[in-house]
Homo-oligomer: A and B are copies of this chain.
């Protein structure tokens, strides 16, 4: 697909994700990690306006200079930002105004893309599209959080279809041999800066499961008192469990001794054959310890990824999010994209059922804090 069409398709998908929402759903921010959908809509447009239209499109008129103040995220180099926890306090700009803003930016981009941009601008554009795809996934997860924490448990869309479950073919763990492996992105096409620097790592013998953990398997951990036994947990995880009274994955509700979970189609009986979802790293790690196994490192995952299916859950790994050898931050605001988060977070590999099509790849490095459950996160065991 050519770049202008690509641009249109990505931008359209963002709006399709929001189509089932009521105006009110666009506004709220129940916790700091969840952003209001209208903020995602504005922020992704702001990205193209700020990094492409304003510097490179001669004669472009900014839609509204105040929007920089409202839709900037963590880009410290681009003016004063709205403190992140305040996003949910802002009723203005309205949703209608933000859609106007998107339209305005899209029209300008359309004109701008009518002539072939220079290579470095193209790169920025592709980064912007990948950035928007990341926010598409966040829209899905944030919408689920907003509706799933409403006492009325409203349906997002009756049309939402989760992926088919993997067949449990009884396959044994995949055995991998000790030796030197190459890790990191190579070849053509887009990747983030944190995947670059393809390099050798030495792995020991290991085995990795071809299947993800199911709800039913995880229920055994719950029923065995897993949340009450500190021995399975990191000290910090154990504190998290107790301070927050965690007793199950996010969206699970035990009502009169029956387990339900909240889904995009409302509150439903849990399907025990479904792939487990919405667990924190602490839970993933405790479950693995209880099974007498462990999580794979991100290198083990990447080396073996050709031998199993992946793509329905972001898979927690045993690897902390750290720079690859030779990693260098880009200069300017774009350089704030990844490097500054390389501390106290854990790597997730794969993709999830709400990751945008074509967005992820086998070298993709996702990362989140160890206590977060609101992404579509799952568990693959290793030993």
Q: Which of B24, B93, B318, B323 contacts A26 (CB 8 A)?
A: B24
A residues 129-183 touching B (CB-CB < 8 Å): 146-147, 149-152, 154, 180
A24-B23, A202-B180, A343-B370 given; A320·B318 CB < 8 A: no
Interface status of A334 (Cβ within 8 A of chain B): no
CB of A134, distance to nearest CB on chain B (Å): 16
CB pair B22 A92 closer than 8 Å: yes
Residues of B within 8 A of A342 (CB): 234
Q: In A22-38, which residues have CB < 8 Å from any B CB? A: 22-30, 38
Known interface pairs A94-B22, A151-B70, A344-B370; A200-B199 also in contact (CB < 8 Å): no
Check if A82 is an interface residue, CB within 8 A of chain B.
yes
Instruction: From B89, B93, B180, give the contact of A180 (CB < 8 A).
Output: B180
Question: Which B residues are in CB contact (< 8 Å) with A319?
Answer: 322
Contacting pair A341 B27 (CB below 8 A): no
Closest-CB distance, A177 to chain B (whole angstroms): 13
Picked from B91, B149, B343, the residue with its CB within 8 Å of the CB of A24 is B91
**Distance, CA A294 to CA B68, complexed state (A):** 33
Residues on A lying within 8 angstroms of B by beta carbon are 22-30, 38, 66, 69-70, 74, 76-77, 82, 86, 88-95, 146-147, 149-152, 154, 180, 199-202, 204, 206, 230-231, 233-238, 281-282, 285, 294, 318-320, 322-323, 325-326, 335, 340-344, 346, 370
